[in-house]
Amino acid sequence: MPEKIEVRFGKGLKVLDVIENPVPHVVVDSRKELHGWWPGKRECTAERLLVNPYNGCSIDCSFCYAKALPGYFQNYRERGVVTVCRDFDRVVAKQLDSIDLASCGYLSPVTDPFQPVNHTYHLSEKIIEEFVGRNIPVEFITKEAVSDRVIGLLKRQSHSFGQFSVLTLQETQRRLLMRGGATTDDLFDCMTRMAESGVHTVCRVDPIIPYITDDVRGLEGLIERAVDSGASHIVASVMDIPLSMVSEVYKKFSVFGQGVVFDMKRLFSQRIDNGLHADIGYRKRLFDHLRNSCDSLGVTFALCMEYDLGDGIPVGLNGEFMSSTNCEGIDIPLYVRNGDRFEPAAECDGACLSCENPLCGVEDLALGKIDWQKPGFKLSDYRSWTRERARTAQEPLFS
Ligand code: SF4
Ligand code: SF4
């Protein structure tokens, strides 16, 4: 008899069978919609269509902030059960067919798209196919090895790319930080294969864990190896800890010794919104080193979601440390439908966050400055831009 799990749907409750292999998971119908970055603070320069075919992630990093998220994510945090969205590629396909304007797709903001359960369902490959088949760019971030099929798909779409997260060169240390994930050697091998096939390849040192992976020489060695493996852009961040997970996270890090936990507790002194952040002086010193390393190796550098407080308001640190135009090191415009396929909507760098002249025709996208109150874009926004475009019969601005 399979184990059962109770899952809350709005006000109702459903009982689902837990499938044990390859990892415990349940399969649910989902009508989740593609959407943009979440409301609140944002440093991401370019707009994205975020896609999560899975909720919960069995790579199970000690520092995973997604465990603090509500809904299905709690199934993983409390019971180790991943949630799979049944046939989600078809749901995504229908949504892409309902819009004439599309940003680059992003697999996946809060789970690893190539985690073990994907070996059974292959939703990530299928979703990439839906994007690439329409010539819409798509990107992924992973700590897993990716297949030649994925690389071959990305190669077919000129703005599609991939990012690999590598936290440390020391394999023993990596295994203490996460239950799953590919070996460091395998990740560098994937970077090499992807870069050699001409696809933009990013290495993320994200997050750096204070007192565990923050040795500057070690980080410089990691960046050098990433560059040797074909990465042309580096993204970094220092771990932050959601307030709701502080004791859980410190408990996990106790495998590195109580001294490490003691030092961490002193360092994580800055509260920004709902998270604890490492002391700003510590973070800036580290980022300064990494930026210099990248400069001397001839690759670009950016931070992910790193802030200080200015008059109590979070202020992004990329203004000080980023050397690329866009934080992922690649310039991708909005795409517009041309029959069954999409084409770039404008000859722009895709840095919507600072765009003052929305040549793509979508004024809403050109934020000009960070608007803390603005909600993230939804599929309904893309549909309304589509209607507006049809109403004004805009000629496509193909580049
Ligand atoms: S790979 Fe990402 S989503 Fe998965 S457990 Fe690690 S931090 Fe969380
Ligand atoms: S024209 Fe401006 S708002 Fe439109 S996609 Fe390009 S950068 Fe973004």
Nearest ligand to the C-alpha of residue 347?
2
pLDDT reported for residue 399: 43
Find the 200 Cα to ligand 2 centroid distance in Å: 20
User: Is residue 369 over pLDDT 60?
Assistant: no
* pLDDT, position 251: 94
Dihedral angle over CA of 289, 291, 294, 300, nearest 10: 170
Tokens describing residue 396: 């496509």
Q: If you average pLDDT over residues 388-398, what whole number do you get?
A: 68
Atom of ligand 1 nearest to the CA of 111: 3
Encode pLDDT of 314-335 as tens digits.
999 999 999 999 999 999 999 9
Find all residues with CB under 8 Å of 6, minimum gap 6, and list them. 13, 14, 15, 16
How far apart are the C-alpha atoms of 122 and 124, rounded to whole Å? 5
The CATH architecture that domain 29-54+88-235+281-391 belongs to is Alpha-Beta Horseshoe (3.80)
Residue 98 to residues 195, 382, 396: CA-CA distances in angstroms? 33, 9, 17
Does residue 185 carry a pLDDT above 70? yes
Instruction: Give me ligand 1 centre to Cα 1, in Å.
Output: 30
User: Which ligand is closest in space to the CA of residue 365?
Assistant: 2
Q: What pLDDT sits at residue 6?
A: 83
Structure tokens at 389: 């475009």
Atom of ligand 2 nearest to the CA of 357: 2
Question: Quick one: pLDDT at residue 69?
Answer: 85
Greatest C-alpha distance within the chain: 65
Q: What's the CA-to-centroid distance between 348 and ligand 2, angstroms?
A: 6
CB atoms within 10 A of CB 85: 22
Please give the pLDDT value at position 398: 46
Q: To 5 degrees, how large is the angle CA 95–CA 133–CA 338?
A: 75
Residue-wise burial string across 285-321, b where 16 or more C-beta atoms lie within 10 A, e elsewhere: ebbebbbebbeebebbbbbbbbbbeeeeebebbbeeb
The closest-lying atom of ligand 1 relative to the alpha carbon of residue 110 is 3
Instruction: Give me the pLDDT at residue 2, please.
Output: 60
The type of residue at 385 is W
Work out which ligand 1 atom sits closest to the CA atom of 67.
8
Cβ of 61 closer than 6 Å to ligand 1, yes or no, is yes
Residue from 75, 81, 124, 178 whose mutation best tests the ligand 1 pocket (most atoms within 8 A of CB): 178
- For ligand 1, is residue 141 a contact (CB within 6 Å)? no
**Could you tell me the pLDDT band of residue 66, with boundaries at 50, 70 and 90?**
confident
276 forms beta bridges with: 241, 271
Domain boundaries, the chain: 29-54+88-235+281-391
Mutate to test the pocket of ligand 2, among 42, 347, 359 (most ligand atoms within 8 A of CB): 359
Residues at CB less than 6 angstroms from ligand 2 = 333-334, 346, 348, 350-352, 355, 358-360, 362, 365-366
- Site of tokens 């890090």: 253
Bridge partners of residue 162, in order along the sequence: 140, 201
Res. 107: pLDDT tops 60 = yes
Read off the pLDDT of each residue in 377-397 and give the average, rounded to a whole number: 82
- Closest residue by Cα to atom 8, ligand 2, is 352
Give the full edge-to-edge strand order of the sheet including 233-238: 48-51, 104-107, 138-142, 161-165, 200-208, 233-238, 300-303
pLDDT tens per residue, range 287-308: 999 999 999 999 999 999 999 9
- Give the number of the ligand closest to the Cα of residue 77: 1
User: Quick one: pLDDT at residue 72?
Assistant: 83
Per-residue pLDDT, averaged over 117-135, amounts to 98
